[in-house]
Amino acid sequence: MSELELPTKLVSMIERGRILDDDVRYLRQDYFKDSKLCKTEAESLFALDAAVKDKSHSWHEFFIEAMVDHIVNQAEPVGHISEDNAEWLKNCISRNGLVDGPVRLEMLVKVLEVAKSAPQSLLTFAMTQVSEAILNNQGPLAESRLSEKQVICKSDVELLRRMIFGFGSDNGLAVSKAEAEFLFELNDQTAEFENDPAWTDLFARAVGNYLLATLDGAEPSRAAVLSKDDFLQGDGLFDVAVNSLKSALAEMRPLHRVLDSERGVQNEELTASFHEAAKVTPDEAAWAIERIQRDGEKHENEKALLAFIKEEASELHASLSSAA
């Protein structure tokens, strides 16, 4: 990108040291009037953003919109983020592993929310930006944080929720083991501090979703489990996930011209599939116990996780039952 030969109009903005609303209108209406950016044009916008410090709010909106559209809807494979495109994006928005500012972090989160799928590494990279702010006061969120180091504040939880909620994982709808491991590490390192109460809820639900999602195609979706609105409703923590699972399974077969007898079979299959998906396997139980015992203490958030699993699992391994 350092060898880019920028168009005259962009050079003039750099020399002026400001990007005005009129400049943004020009970029939208003339320079990119076909609404399509090639990679060179996209890199020229990154170079412009980096070179000019005084930028209008309309620039931030345009910049995020243009780059998300480019990498998700224009770059191949359309709608998905390939490994190569994920690496390109990380190189464009970060230095030494840290995203260069909150605008570029918002761009990354939008990509995760809009793309149908993306590499797990891209989500891990995004989540790391939050943990770096919490644990080390570094990265794009450091300057805006009101809380002390090693305290998870409400805005941290909401950002992590957006990342996990919006991510289309490679292995389906469920929260992945990599995500669960990440959340456990963050929980261990902040357990002695007064984190926002929303962290307990997110931790228990996200890790619980990983442990309870054991059947391909029948797992409760991360969208159902992690949606903010659904956190605050229902007598059972997993009510919404159950309903989502039933809906998803129902859609796996045609809904028209189904005989009553077929509906009966379908319902039996649905019940069996949900029961199977809600099991905690011996391997999963061993992983959970090892993670909980790793630092020698059972923290409040881990107790909440165990309570969540005990209530929602159709079958609970004896080791987890005794631990809960």
Question: 200: Cβ–Cβ under 8 A, 6 or more apart, which residues?
Answer: 300, 301, 304
What type of residue is 145? R
Q: Which helix (H) or strand (E) holds 94?
A: strand 94-95
Tell me if residue 169 falls in helix, strand or coil: strand
Q: What DSSP designation does 170 have?
A: T
Question: 204: Cβ–Cβ under 8 A, 6 or more apart, which residues?
Answer: 237, 301, 304, 305, 307, 308
Cα gap 259→302, rounded to integer Å:
46
Q: How far is CA 303 from CA 214, 217, 299, in A?
A: 22, 29, 6
pLDDT at res. 227 = 53
pLDDT at res. 223 = 57
- Work out whether strand 18-19 and strand 54-55 pair parallel, antiparallel, or are unpaired: parallel
pLDDT at res. 74 = 93
Count of residues in the chain: 324
pLDDT at res. 131 = 96
pTM of the predicted structure, to 2 decimals: 0.79
Question: 3: Cβ–Cβ under 8 A, 6 or more apart, which residues?
Answer: none
φ, ψ of residue 55 in degrees (nearest 5) = -130, 140
Report whether 175 contacts 206 (CB < 8 A): yes
pLDDT at res. 242 = 42
Cα gap 40→324, rounded to integer Å:
55
Query: What does the CA dihedral 134, 68, 63, 159 come to, rounded to 10 degrees?
Result: -20
pLDDT at res. 277 = 52
DSSP 240-285: HHHHHHHHHHHTTS--SS--HHHHHHHHHHHHHHHHHHTB--HHHH
Tens of pLDDT, residue by residue, the chain (324 residues): 445 788 899 999 999 999 999 999 999 887 777 768 889 999 999 999 999 999 999 999 999 999 999 999 999 999 999 999 999 999 999 999 999 999 999 999 999 999 999 999 999 999 999 999 999 999 999 988 766 678 999 999 999 999 998 886 444 467 889 999 999 999 999 998 899 999 999 999 999 988 887 444 444 556 555 554 544 344 444 444 444 444 433 433 333 334 445 545 445 544 444 455 567 888 888 999 999 988 888 889 999 999 888 887 767 777 777 666
pLDDT at res. 186 = 96
